[in-house]
Amino acid sequence: MQRIVVLNPKGGSGKTTIAINLASYLAARGHAPVLMDFDPQGSSLRWVKKRKPAQPPIHVIAAFEKDSRTTRAFQLRVPQVTTHIIIDTPAALEARQMPEMTRDADKVLVPVLPSDIDIHACSRCIRDLLLVGKIRREDDRIGVIANRVRRNTLTYQSLIRFLHTLGIPIVATIRDSQNYVRAAELGIGVHEMKSYVAHDDVEQWIPLVEWLARPSGPQAPPGDAPRQGSAAPPGTASAQPPDGGLEPAAEPQLPEAAELAPPLAAAIG
């Protein structure tokens, strides 16, 4: 069972969009995902309730609700058939809460938008995950998603330059597409839309799916040559699975930890 945390204390970064579309992708391919909604807004919960009985099932847990009649562990229990747990975290998450939220997480996804404010918030988030959350960079557990981007813009170029300085892999570049808005309204994911409608959006998820399938830890096996047009940063190799499923990709070549401090300090000011 894989535990995936979607986290960024900055509100509006697209955490719920990433979480529900990842759950949709997994369910559509025969997995049994569970969505844990820790966000008091309950957006993931409402999305699951919109789904039709004929659609692949996704179990949802309203983790933001507190029930004094049961223990917390009982409230957060998952079905035995669960293959993936996807945690949609709340905005304004404090640094001291990160160790508990990321405990036992196999992967942590950090979506970030192309704006100065979001870049600043992302730098603090990565810093807290490393220093407070005690997640080792060499374990390849943290991945950044450049979200709602428009290529060939100055803000996009600034975002990509900044992300490369972090020494954290850019595991996907998600374009600014109305398909995500339409899908959320219908209780589906872009992977469940007609292929001729969402083909470009679905293609952008391939590097992310490959990274999620790669074993965490410094001993992760190397893969093949980089995929052409992949969102991965220089030094990251990515191999396309033959059946489009979850198959291991390559281990990124990340800078040493000491190299991260100056860029972070400059970004944070």
**Rounded CA separation 110/9 (Å):** 9
Cα–Cα distance for residue pair 83/78, rounded to 1 Å: 10
Which pair of structure tokens corresponds to residue 254?
């990340």
Domain that includes residue 208, residue range: 2-268
| Distance from C-alpha of 230 to C-alpha of 173, rounded to nearest angstrom | 9
- 11, two tokens: 């509100």
| Count of C-beta atoms within a 10 Å radius of residue 226 | 18
Question: Looking at residue 68, what is its pLDDT?
Answer: 85
Structure confidence at residue 211 (pLDDT): 96
Q: Give 213: exposed, middle or buried? Use CB within 10 Å, 0-12, 13-18, 19+.
A: middle
Edge-to-edge, what's the strand order for the sheet holding 107-112?
Answer: 59-61, 33-37, 84-88, 2-6, 107-112, 142-149, 170-175
Tell me which residue has tokens 């033959």: 242
Domain count, the chain: 1
Q: Model's pTM, two decimal places?
A: 0.79
Give pLDDT, residue 269.
Answer: 40
Read off the CATH number of the domain in which 11 is found: 3.40.50.300
Would you state the pLDDT for residue 66? 87
d(CA 137, CA 175): 26
Do residues 39 and 89 make contact, with C-beta atoms less than 8 angstroms apart? yes
pLDDT at 244: 39
Q: In this predicted structure, what is the pLDDT of residue 116? A: 87
pLDDT at res. 241: 39
What is the pLDDT, as a whole number, of residue 69?
86
- Low-confidence residues of the chain: pLDDT under 50: 219-269
